Amino acid sequence: MSLTIRPYQAIDLQSLRDLTVEAFEGVSLEHDIERVVGEFGGHDWRWRKARHVDADVDRDAEGIFVAEGNGAVVGYVSTWIDAEAGVGFIPNLAVAASCRGQGIGRQLLNRAIEHFRSRGVRVARIETMAQNDVGRHLYPSLGFQEVAQQVHYCLDLGEEKNARE
């Protein structure tokens, strides 16, 4: 497969949404929340996760890089920069299941890091779920150092309301 990593274009949006929904099954906070409280608000976790891509585009479309293989979108990384703080954030990274294990994720991250360097960023930040074995292998292998682990809580206000009635 001939692979190109190129800047995001508006025409990529739906492909990125689709890729995200496929890739983050079992490795996203949105899915974890659904496992705890079930579906709510008339939407499932996929709908909520796809909105993260919209948020990434709204925040910094120029900070998104797309991996294209044989004319198809096969992965992407999103970034944004707090220039004043000197910090670059990588909120989302995904590679199509059929294309994993070929170094595409690594190339996308290297592109994000290159982008940060070119903008004078001092510290790059990325997060992964504790259960995400690939992230926990890949990020340290690129030099990312573990800083802290976090516990996420959610309160089901529908349940709370029912319990009080």
Instruction: Output the smallest distance, CB 96 to ligand COA, in A.
Output: 8
Q: Is residue 13 a contact residue for ligand COA (CB under 6 A)?
A: no
- By CB under 6 A, is residue 143 in contact with ligand COA? no
Instruction: Tell which one of 7, 38, 86, 103 touches ligand COA (CB under 6 A).
Output: 103
Asked if residue 100 binds ligand COA (CB under 6 A), the reply is yes
Give one word for 28, left, alpha or beta, with left for phi > 0 and alpha for psi -120 to 50: beta
Residue nearest to ligand COA (CB): 105
26 vs 120, beta carbon nearer ligand COA: 26
Dihedrals φ, ψ of 149, to 5°? Answer: -115, 150
Point out which span in 31-39, 48-56, 129-137, 154-162 binds ligand COA (CB under 6 A).
129-137
> CB within 8 A of 67, min separation 6: which ones?
3, 4, 5, 73, 74, 75, 76, 95, 99, 104, 107, 108
DSSP state of 10: G
Identify the DSSP state of 39.
S
Residues found near ligand COA in the complex (CB under 6 A): 23-24, 27, 93-95, 100-106, 128, 132-135, 137-138, 141
